[in-house]
Amino acid sequence: MAKTVKLMQGNEACTIGALAAGLEFYAGYPITPSTEIAELCAEELPKVGGKFIQMEDEIGSIAACIGASLTGKKAMTATSGPGFSLMQESIGYASLCEVPVVIIDVQRMGPSTGMPTSLAQGDVMQARWGTHGDHPVIALAPGNVRECFDLTIRAFDLAETYRVPVIVLSDETIGHMREKVVLPDPSEIRSVRRAAPSSPAGYKPYAAEEDGGVPLMAPFGEGYRWHVTGLFHNEAGRPTNSGEVADKLLRRLSRKIEKNADELADYAAESLEDCEIAVVSFGSSAMSGLSAVRRARKEGVKAGMLRLKTIWPFPEKAVAELAKRATRVIVPEMNLGQIALEVERVVAGACPVQRLGKVNGELFRPEEVYAAIMSAARGDDAAGAGRAAGEAR
Amino acid sequence: MSDILRYFRQDMLPHIWCPGCGHGTVTGALVRAIDKLGLSKNKVCIVSGIGCSSRAVGYLDFDTVHTTHGRAIAFATGIKLARPELTVIVMTGDGDCAAIGGNHFIHAARRNIGITTIVMNNNIYGMTSGQYSPMTPKGMYGTTAPYGNVERSFDLCELAKASGATYVGRATSYHVPLLIDLIHSALQNKGFSVVEAISQCPTYMGRKNKIGGAVEMLEWIKDGTVNVKAAAALGSEKTKGKILIGELHNAPESEYTADYDELIDRVQRKYDKFQGGLYGCASNSD
Ligand SMILES: Cc1ncc(C[n+]2csc(CCOP(=O)(O)OP(=O)(O)O)c2C)c(N)n1
């Protein structure tokens, strides 16, 4: 078992994770701070017989990935906010048509062109609700370089298992940060492939158990001759205008995720057992948050950290559990309160939730989160605690 | 006839097209060209966007994808690059292809990727009930051109040619044998092929412009076109304002996915020792 020890960047780790998961196709359009992923795919994919294409835009990129996935290939694209926005229509298509695809969104400051090289985590809600209509989606947020590797592999596994688009919600700091990582031997990585039918006879492309079942997916070019359409469709894949069929379809799609919420929930907890001041965060903000929590502990404050690795579906149980003991939940994030909205929904008034939003493009300094924790420990109200945290409001 | 029916998903019929619509004629021409070539149904994949024209793929018994508006060529690019051995065909409308999908169209042509694109041009947005399209001639009417269209229209075949398509032809729903022939040739070209199929929309184009029903529209199409070979003999005076039909461009060049496969060969020969070398130059391996 040969482990590999390397100094690498988050974006590099995402790419290597994708290759380890069996990536066969990449289509993308360059955008900071994600571009290294495209560059590395262009270099590495041909070596393993895979395909890379630089499309004319992100709309085309996601479309090409979906097309490749229909032939049975594992496909991925990477982008940042502006490109992620352009992909939304076809992300909905992949959701409805149940085509596995992985999208890495290395978040930068927006809206619009924003500050292209600066850190933000403003795409949390876009990842969930960016496309129109109710639709299933999964989003994972790596919190360090090694997790870029792990969660990209997991993204492929989940995309293939549930036949949904999976978004890896990275950010500028995680993507560009270099860390020493120890990677497992490639032979230890067991990646999943979508379940396929065994014969075209009687194949119904969308036949599945009503309560969140996942249909079998046939690759194109193998005699199944099935129809894929973004119109609502019945089990045979034929378009329908029946409200009843549509209702059943949308509920099945949504149950695919709901039903498996426990398996999908993924997070790292530190010192939550007896924690009174809980910090809930993700991605790069959680790095500063964790350092603050540890320092507060040393000062005798019962602080704890819940770092979300799965963002969507939102890990409700873990958050509800911590709210039972906590006297305050602090949510540091590089936006003006997106994950905080979910935390507030789940905590449902059990204790105050303090938004610690930051939108100046600079990573949280641990002191900023530390100040908020200490102020909460003193019993300042949430607004006061926000002021104590200085610029991090 | 029965031979042709086997290319259709008969459970999907009747189709949604209006009486007198030309899209069925174009679909029939495609199927006849496929039949003439003897392609296996299992190795042909047909992709469309959104519009009346794009509904065609639902009726056809192949692997078919009815995608998002304007994106058929981009989806098809992924399919073709992932599985170059498949025959990949795009069926699209004038709005789908020339407006919202214009960028994918010119870039697929530039790459010379092995996709045959059939543009069903009814000069109007049929599905959304008669708005003008980039192919509506100047001065003609649409629901969003109530005083006559002030925009100029594209010559899509010239656009395809200028963008690098290696096979380009134009026929109409009136000139069916020619249409079948052009599609037949287009399917044999290894690179990006475009066949513009002028098609009648009596419901919107015909009514809005007082051209009449399907028959009058077919006559209008016939009178408005001239075969490229005949045009040379007739001279510019007699062909002024007429749309050229026939094979307009046939200049084979190396095809994109074949070139990419060659690149893979080249790279793999160079990185012969690259076995499971997932982590790149694993210099610090223990
Ligand atoms: C993103 C998006 N914009 C607009 C529409 C609405 N729409 C559906 S079909 C269509 C026009 C189709 O026209 P054309 O491609 O000429 O095909 P036809 O219906 O005439 O065959 C439009 C604008 C849509 N479905 N999606």
Instruction: Write the residue in A47, A53, A226 that is nearest to B268 by C-beta.
Output: A47
pLDDT tens-place string over residues A157-172:
999 999 999 999 999 9
The fold for domain A267-390 equals Rossmann fold (3.40.50)
Whether the CB of A42 is below 8 Å from some CB of chain B: the reply is no
Name B233's Cβ contacts closer than 8 Å, sequence gap at least 6.
Answer: none
Res A2: pLDDT: 78
Q: Give the whole-angstrom CA distance, residue A67 versus residue A288.
A: 40
Check B75 against A44: CB less than 8 A apart.
Answer: no
φ and ψ of A345, to 5 deg: -60, -45
User: Do residues A219 and A53 make contact, with C-beta atoms less than 8 angstroms apart?
Assistant: no
In chain A, which among 165-224 make CB contacts under 8 A with chain B?
183, 186-187, 220-224
pLDDT of amino acid B282: 37
Residue pair A370/A289 in contact (Cβ under 8 Å)? The answer is no
Q: Which of A212, A231, A225, A210 is nearest to A97 (CA)?
A: A231
**Looking at the structure, do residues B168 and B284 belong to the same domain, yes or no?**
no
The Cα B43–Cα B201 span in angstroms is 32
* Closest among A349, A178, A346, A344 to A357, alpha carbons compared: A344
Strands (E), B11-78: 44-48, 63-66
A180 contacts A157 by C-beta, under 8 angstroms: no
Whether pTM exceeds 0.95: yes
Q: Do A70 and B65 touch (CB under 8 A)?
A: yes
Domain boundaries, position B112: 4-253
Res. A281: pLDDT tops 90: yes
Calculate how close chain B gets to A360, using CA atoms only, in Å.
35
Regarding whether B141 and B38 lie in a shared domain, the answer is yes
Q: For residue B86, which residues of chain A lie inside 8 Å, CB to CB?
A: 71, 220-221
pLDDT of residue A1 exceeding 80, the answer is no
Give me the mean pLDDT over the A10-17 stretch.
Answer: 98
A36, A10 contact by CB (below 8 A):
no
Q: Backbone phi, then psi, for A26, in 5-degree steps?
A: -135, 130
Q: CATH code for A4-188?
A: 3.40.50.970
Taking residues A124-139, what's their average pLDDT? 97
Q: Are residues B214 and B265 in the same domain?
A: no
Query: Do B44 and B145 reside in the same domain of the chain?
Result: yes
The rounded mean pLDDT for chain A is 96
Same domain, B131 and B161: yes
Q: Which residues line ligand 1 (CB under 6 A)?
A: B 50-53, 69, 93-96, 120, 122, 124-128, 133
Mean pLDDT of A31-48: 97
Is the domain of B127 the same as that of B212?
A: yes
Radius of gyration of the CA atoms of chain B, in A: 21
Q: How confident is the model at residue A383 (pLDDT cuts 50, 70, 90)?
A: low
Kindly report, as residue ranges, where domains of CATH 3.40.50.920 are found in chain A.
Answer: 267-390
Tokens of B89: 């065909």
According to the model, what pLDDT value does residue B280 have? 60
* Neighbour-count burial of B86, counting CB atoms closer than 10 A to its CB (0-12 exposed, 13-18 middle, 19+ buried): buried
Give yes or no: residues B275 and B140 share one domain. Answer: no
Which two three-digit tokens encode residue A5? 């020890």
Say whether pLDDT at A393 is over 80. Answer: no
The segment(s) of chain A belonging to CATH 3.40.50.970 are 4-188
Tell me the C-alpha distance between B194 and B159, whole Å. 10
CATH of residue B135: 3.40.50.970
Helix (H, G, I), strand (E, B) or coil at B169: strand
Which chain B residues are Cβ-neighbours of A16 within 8 angstroms? 278-280
Q: Are residues B150 and B181 in the same domain?
A: yes
Place of tokens 């028959």: B215
Q: What is residue A391's predicted lDDT score, i.e. its pLDDT?
A: 43
Alpha carbons A256 and A214: distance in angstroms, whole number: 7
Return the pLDDT at A260.
98
Q: Residue A309: what pLDDT?
A: 98
d(CA B101, CA B108): 11
CA of B87 to the centre of ligand 1 (A): 25
Share of chain A above pLDDT 90, in %: 94
Domain identity same for B229 and B282: no
Domain count, chain B: 2
A132 vs B: CB within 8 A: no
DSSP letters, A254-291, are: HHHHHTTHHHH--EEEES-TT-SEEEEEEHHHHHHHHH
**Cα–Cα distance, A70 to A90 (Å, whole number):** 14
Q: What is the pLDDT of residue A384?
A: 52
pLDDT digits (tens, 9 = 90+) for A43-60: 999 999 999 999 999 999
C-alpha distance from B51 to closest chain A C-alpha (Å): 12
A82-86, A237-241, B275-279, B281-285: the lowest-pLDDT one = B281-285
Q: What is the ipTM of this complex?
A: 0.96
- pLDDT classification of A117: cutoffs 50, 70, 90: very high
Helix axes A145-162, A10-20, angle to 10 degrees: 40
Residue B2 has a pLDDT of 58
Q: What pLDDT is attached to residue B10?
A: 95
Report chain A residues whose CB lies below 8 A from the CB of B68: 63, 89-90, 93, 230
Kindly give the parts of chain B with pLDDT less than 70: 1-2, 272-278, 280-286
Whole-number Å distance, alpha carbon A124 to ligand 1 midpoint, is 31
